[in-house]
Amino acid sequence: MMATDPSRSSVFADSPEPDDFSADRIRWLIHLRWVAMAGVLVATVFAAAGFYPGVAWPVLLVVVAAGSTYNLVLLRRRPGPGSGQRAAVSQALVDLAMLTVVLWAAGGISTPFIGFYVFHLALIGILGGPSATLVATAGAFASAGFLALSESVPALKIGAWDPSPPWDTIGNVAAFTTTIGAAAYLVLHAVRELRDRERALARSRDQAELEYQVIANTLDELEAGLEVVSPDGQIEWRNRLADELAPAPGQAGTWECPVAIRRCKTQPEGLCPVWRARDEGAEGRCRFTVGDSSYEMLSFPLASAGQGPPRIMNLYVDRTQILHAERRLLHAERLASLGRVAQGVAHELNTPLATIRTLAADMREAIRSLGGDEALQSDLAESAALIRDETGRLGRITHSLLTGGTLPRLRLSSSTRLLPIVERAHALVFAGARETGPELEVSDSINDLRVVADPDRLLQVLVNLLQNALDANREAGGRFVWLSAARRGSVVEIIVEDEGAGIDPEIENRLFEPFATTKPPGEGTGLGLYASYMLIQTMGGDLTIENRDQGGASARVRLPVGEEKLAKEPAVHHRAP
């Protein structure tokens, strides 16, 4: 592992964002309180000048003095760790009490400044959340009740709101303007804080992703294999070396102990260290050899959040210095053997493929000479043509293997006609569904369209899409599959639509990932759409799949427009059986 102290690394540094209730928040409250005291002082001056004779301005002056003293004390005090929220809410509640005294001196419930309670409730809600808001609301109702009671009980009344015109109107306007302005300020402040928090969260998320990548890359470069196994035997995570050293999962996808597949010297003897770590919570180890290389697997139980069995971490330690060289040599020998086997198979297949092609050609000639039912002749001739074409494609694959390649490279044609490819895909996919299965409806719009593509690879893509549509219709009871095409600017868009159940939301964002499938085991590998997407991308196009509004799914293949030939072939109208 890296020896660098994480606290000194810029990657692992603490977030620069302040806490929600830090010293900055306390200073913000102190500044607001200075503004409030200034407003009360202005009101005191107007009341003392006789413009609002009923207001008990000496009480207002006492509130100004008390609030200012309270602010000075807060400026000199340093908040303790973890006390930010509690201190902020406490200060806001003190301000609520001082507001009640100011309103009491200004005439009680009759003063137009009674709406200032809304500002304080919103402030406490921002600072303390739902619980503090409920407490402040109860306090505001109690204070308003006291103010209303003070107007009815002479002994509790210390001031009255009875200004003479136009000062009553001026007071009402001042109260309305101040309340609206304070509320707007709070809203803007809350919005600004929300945006700052979103930016901080985004930075934290990016930092977490970076840290994860750093840790994952570090673990991936360890000179030891590392894996985590769940209590039920599922492999949850492996680094690169563990993939090379650890036994492969069994048929059920569960982890297999080296004891089960090779001779191991375990401690204690005869017990798999992984299951010992799971069942007894004790460390275990297993030494085993592969060829001339020696390994040791160390198993450790991980802390469990619940009462169930713990997960297990396995550490595979390489005990030899030449392990990697030997494994690469063994891998190369296996690949060479596989290549020789592939070439041998390709050589053996060439002769029967050539025989099948010859017989298919002879069968077509024989069918033509027999006469008889034209529909039957057409059907048999079409089957013979498919046999000839598909064996030709297999012949190209075997030729590539024999010459040292893998699979044939793309043979892009700048003028590939869609119609013959669609007809071949139709025949290959729907050959067994002519009587009872869903029907394919092909639009005449494909007749004159050409694209830039490899015909064989485009055929493979269309076969995959049509087969998926056919399977979806069979599961949902759909009757039709539609295939159409249209030119849109510099591209041709090929559309395959079905009446199936549509795309499962769980896999919608992983459609083109390898091994992503919703089909039952044994019926789908999850490689069809992945291969189709990669082929279309290689040919300079794009493939998207989405749900239809009417139900079912719609696959769209976009390829560059092909060049028009000087002499166009006659249009052929295709009709589905």
224-321 and 413-560 have identical folds:
no
Q: Is the per-residue pLDDT at 78 higher than 70? A: no
Q: How confident is the model at residue 560 (pLDDT cuts 50, 70, 90)?
A: very high
The better pLDDT of the pair 247, 15 is held by 247
Instruction: Pick the closest to residue 494 from 462, 448, 470 (CA basis).
Output: 462
Instruction: Pick the closest to residue 503 from 557, 473, 546 (CA basis).
Output: 546
How do 264-267 and 235-238 pair as beta strands?
unpaired
C-alpha Rg value of the chain to the nearest Å: 40
Q: Is the per-residue pLDDT at 343 higher than 80? A: no
State residue 439's pLDDT score: 86
State residue 253's pLDDT score: 58
Average pLDDT of the segment spanning 248-261? 61
Q: Is the per-residue pLDDT at 577 higher than 50? A: no
Q: How confident is the model at residue 16 (pLDDT cuts 50, 70, 90)?
A: very low
Query: What rounded mean pLDDT belongs to the chain?
Result: 77
Q: Is the per-residue pLDDT at 414 higher than 80? A: yes
As a whole number of angstroms, the distance between CA 244 and CA 324 comes to 10
| Domain positions in the chain | 23-202, 224-321, 328-402, 413-560
The highest-confidence range among 90-99, 230-239, 340-349, 358-367, by mean pLDDT, is 90-99
**Is the domain defined by 328-402 classed in CATH 1.10.260?**
no
Q: Which amino acid is at 205?
A: R
The better pLDDT of the pair 151, 347 is held by 151
Q: Is the per-residue pLDDT at 575 higher than 60? A: no
481 secondary structure, DSSP code = E
Q: How confident is the model at residue 233 (pLDDT cuts 50, 70, 90)?
A: confident
Omega before 268 within 30 of 0, i.e. cis = yes
Instruction: Pick the closest to residue 469 from 530, 551, 537 (CA basis).
Output: 551
Alpha-helical regions (H) of 153-166: none
Average pLDDT of the segment spanning 515-540? 76
254 secondary structure, DSSP code = B
State residue 484's pLDDT score: 94
Q: Which amino acid is at 80?
A: G
State residue 541's pLDDT score: 93
* Bridge partners of residue 254, in order along the sequence: 234
Q: How confident is the model at residue 9 (pLDDT cuts 50, 70, 90)?
A: very low
The highest-confidence range among 1-10, 309-318, 353-362, by mean pLDDT, is 309-318
Q: 501: how many CB neighbours lie within 10 A of its CB?
A: 17
Span 413-560 CATH architecture? 2-Layer Sandwich (3.30)
Q: How confident is the model at residue 101 (pLDDT cuts 50, 70, 90)?
A: very high
Omega before 154 within 30 of 0, i.e. cis = no
Q: Is the per-residue pLDDT at 543 higher than 90? A: yes
Helix (H, G, I), strand (E, B) or coil at 521: coil
Q: Is the per-residue pLDDT at 393 higher than 90? A: no
State residue 132's pLDDT score: 82
**What would the pLDDT profile of 160-175 be if each residue is shown by its tens digit?**
888 888 988 998 898 8
Q: How confident is the model at residue 558 (pLDDT cuts 50, 70, 90)?
A: very high
State residue 22's pLDDT score: 59
As a whole number of angstroms, the distance between CA 430 and CA 11 comes to 57
The better pLDDT of the pair 550, 357 is held by 550
Q: Is the per-residue pLDDT at 300 higher than 60? A: yes
Q: How confident is the model at residue 495 (pLDDT cuts 50, 70, 90)?
A: very high
State residue 164's pLDDT score: 84
Q: Is the per-residue pLDDT at 239 higher than 60? A: yes
Span 224-321 CATH architecture? 2-Layer Sandwich (3.30)
The better pLDDT of the pair 378, 133 is held by 133
Q: 298: how many CB neighbours lie within 10 A of its CB?
A: 16
> How is the chain split among helix, strand and coil, in percent rounded to 5?
55, 15, 30
Q: Please state the separation of Cα 461 from the chain's center in Å.
A: 27
Q: How confident is the model at residue 187 (pLDDT cuts 50, 70, 90)?
A: confident
CB 559 within 8 A of CB 543: no
52 secondary structure, DSSP code = S
- Residues listed for the chain: 577
Percent of the chain beyond pLDDT 90?
Answer: 14
Give the helix/strand (H/E) hosting 288: strand 284-290
The better pLDDT of the pair 558, 358 is held by 558
Instruction: Pick the closest to residue 557 from 569, 539, 577 (CA basis).
Output: 539
The better pLDDT of the pair 369, 120 is held by 120
Q: How confident is the model at residue 567 (pLDDT cuts 50, 70, 90)?
A: very low
CB 254 within 8 A of CB 231: no
How do 491-497 and 480-488 pair as beta strands?
antiparallel
Q: Is the per-residue pLDDT at 491 higher than 90? A: yes
As a whole number of angstroms, the distance between CA 54 and CA 52 comes to 6
State residue 350's pLDDT score: 66
Give the helix/strand (H/E) hosting 343: helix 323-370
As a whole number of angstroms, the distance between CA 430 and CA 418 comes to 18
